[in-house]
Amino acid sequence: MSITPVLLCGGSGTRLWPLSRKSFPKQFVKLVGEETLFAASARRLSGPGFAAPVVVTGSDFRFIVTEQLAEAGIDPGAILIEPEARNTAPAVLAAALHLAAADPEAIILVAPSDHVIPDAALFRSAVTAGLVAVAQGKMVTFGITPGHAETGYGYLELSGTPEGDGAAVPLTRFVEKPDAARAAEMVAAGNFLWNAGIFLFAAKDMIAAFRSHAPALLAPVEAAVAAAKPDLGFLRLDPAAWGGAEDISLDYAVMEKAENLAVVPFTGAWSDLGGWDAVWREGAQAAGGVGSSGPVTAIDCEDVLLRSESEGLEVVGIGLKNIFAIATPDAVLVADMSRAQDVKAAVAALKKKGAKQAEAFPRDHRPWGWFETLALGNRFQVKRIVVHPGAALSLQSHFHRSEHWIVVEGTAKVTIDESVQLVTENQSVYIPLGGVHRMENPGKVPMVLIEVQTGTYLGEDDIVRYDDVYARGQGAKG
């Protein structure tokens, strides 16, 4: 009896800006340790006893998901694409329906993909311990032993103190995020655990729970799964049906109403990395509480997190206390440690003033690879373009710019009007204004190309598409 992990990967949190942005949220970033949170989550729920994972994500992230799974050496069972973000209830129901179609008894572990759980083996033991309750028709939620009186998490009230044997305990009720006094009371009481938002259940039980407690969600999500379309290895849920599903969390829609719940206590370390203060706490620290990442020099600093996200960016802190400073090539955030939850408001302020850094990174990920602008002048732009092996850009032309392409790594197959040629390292081609062209990587290694554009208008929307394997439209990006 194997467990199918369902990794929820739709987040767009901004509390870890500038590293986490809407276009590339925190689960895909290396925040703690050497792996991204998503890769670590997938790896944590792999191996004996686990089936290939199902990932539920948004369209913008689908190629990041496949890239990071490939890097981690994990083959997904399915990647469901949500046409738009609808919180956890529709996502979990869609995954349950998808898996139930093959096996209504399928056992599912739903987990967010942006949490930190350093002891993966201990966590897998807790998951295994929950199977007993699942066999009895229960839905299991995992409760974390509180390390401190945290006000940022919801709590699970148990009918008694856990026995310490790891066995499931009946749940009395869910408790919303408390104030500080109430949090302290609950931690002292001993029968309250943090709600980690991780659930283990049989597919049919979860579907039945939705039928009882959130019946209005069933019809649209069933329709979205039934009409889902395979697309290059992804399964796109039907947008029209999906649009009818309520935006609601699994806790609110189902869990807080269900009777057949049990809690498996998890005594290991856990964090949802809900802010830079949490990243500082969870990460390694030198003497004086100095956490650092990248080329950082800390002089007389105490209880600080200093991060440089680029090898070419030196960060220096002098005489700082309770400060975090996060530096990227296009954005720097410096804040008092106590203000970690206000980063969200800062991002909103940036968005309001139109700063592209609020949501986007300089490196723009596309189905075929990524690009970034290296220099932008009045009438020219220089880009670095990286194309995955086997990938191709659309056949396209521009009204306002010519392009020089110089291949610096790998080999490109370049179509210009009627001619097709291979262009390899240290060779260049010229795409005249109006020329119909396509760039492909026919090789086995990434192809890196420097593009120098000149013209009066250099926007991404100056594009006419003639043919696109990724089915994008006129004027759409990339």
* Of 29 and 448, CB closest to a second copy: 448
Per CB under 8 A, 211 contacts a second copy: no
Per CB under 8 A, 287 contacts a second copy: no
To which H or E segment does residue 99 belong?
helix 88-102
Pick from 47, 38, 54: nearest CA to 5: 54
Number of neighbouring beta carbons within 10 Å of residue 58: 17
- Is 35 in contact with 117 (CB distance < 8 Å)? no
Distance in Å, CB of 357 to a second copy, minimum? 5
Q: What values do phi and psi take at 329, rounded to 5?
A: -65, -20
Distance in Å, CB of 372 to a second copy, minimum? 9
Distance in Å, CB of 437 to a second copy, minimum? 16
Single out the residue of 250, 315, 391, 412 in contact with a second copy (rule: CB under 8 A): 315
Distance in Å, CB of 143 to a second copy, minimum? 32
- Is 68 in contact with 38 (CB distance < 8 Å)? yes
Per CB under 8 A, 379 contacts a second copy: yes
Q: Which of residues 6-45 bind a second copy (CB under 8 A)?
A: 18
Single out the residue of 85, 149, 235, 406 in contact with a second copy (rule: CB under 8 A): 406
Q: Which of residues 318-377 bind a second copy (CB under 8 A)?
A: 318-321, 323, 325, 327, 329-336, 338-339, 342-343, 345-346, 349-350, 353, 355, 357, 374-375, 377
Distance in Å, CB of 126 to a second copy, minimum? 37
Distance in Å, CB of 277 to a second copy, minimum? 12
b/e code 442-467 from CB counts within 10 Å (16+ = b)? ebeeebbbebbbebeebeeebbebee
* Of 121 and 318, CB closest to a second copy: 318
Q: Which of residues 438-467 bind a second copy (CB under 8 A)?
A: 448, 450, 452, 454
Strands 139-144 and 261-266: parallel
* Of 166 and 295, CB closest to a second copy: 295
Q: How many residues does the chain have?
A: 478
Single out the residue of 125, 128, 267, 402 in contact with a second copy (rule: CB under 8 A): 402
Taken in order 224, 229, 235, 236, is the CA torsion positive or negative? negative
Phi-psi group of 322: left, alpha or beta (phi > 0 → left; psi -120 to 50 → alpha; rest → beta): left
Distance in Å, CB of 308 to a second copy, minimum? 7
Distance in Å, CB of 275 to a second copy, minimum? 11
Please provide the distance, in angstroms rounded to a whole number, between the alpha carbons at the two ends of the chain: 44
- Is 72 in contact with 35 (CB distance < 8 Å)? yes
What is the layout of strands, in order, in the sheet containing 464-467?
419-424, 411-416, 437-440, 395-397, 464-467
* Of 165 and 338, CB closest to a second copy: 338
* Of 71 and 342, CB closest to a second copy: 342
Alpha-carbon distance of 416 to 450, in angstroms, equals 17
* Of 201 and 276, CB closest to a second copy: 276
HSE (CB half, 13 Å, CA atoms) of 98?
Answer: 31
Which residue is it, tokens 């469901």? 80
Single out the residue of 247, 259, 300, 417 in contact with a second copy (rule: CB under 8 A): 300
Per CB under 8 A, 382 contacts a second copy: yes
Q: Which two tokens stand for residue 448?
A: 């890196």
Single out the residue of 215, 299, 444, 473 in contact with a second copy (rule: CB under 8 A): 299
b/e code 301-336 from CB counts within 10 Å (16+ = b)? bebbbbbbbeeeeebebeebebbbbbbbeebebebe
Residues in contact with a second copy, counted by CB under 8 A, come to a total of: 60
Distance in Å, CB of 265 to a second copy, minimum? 36
- Is 319 in contact with 301 (CB distance < 8 Å)? yes
Q: What values do phi and psi take at 396, rounded to 5?
A: -150, 170
3-class DSSP state for residue 303?
A: strand
Single out the residue of 160, 243, 430, 474 in contact with a second copy (rule: CB under 8 A): 430
* Of 124 and 383, CB closest to a second copy: 383
Piece in contact with a second copy (CB under 8 A), picked from 75-83, 104-112, 402-410, 459-467 = 402-410
**Interacting residues with a second copy (CB under 8 A):** 18, 295, 297, 299-300, 306, 308, 312-321, 323, 325, 327, 329-336, 338-339, 342-343, 345-346, 349-350, 353, 355, 357, 374-375, 377-380, 382, 384, 402, 404, 406, 408-409, 425-426, 428, 430, 448, 450, 452, 454
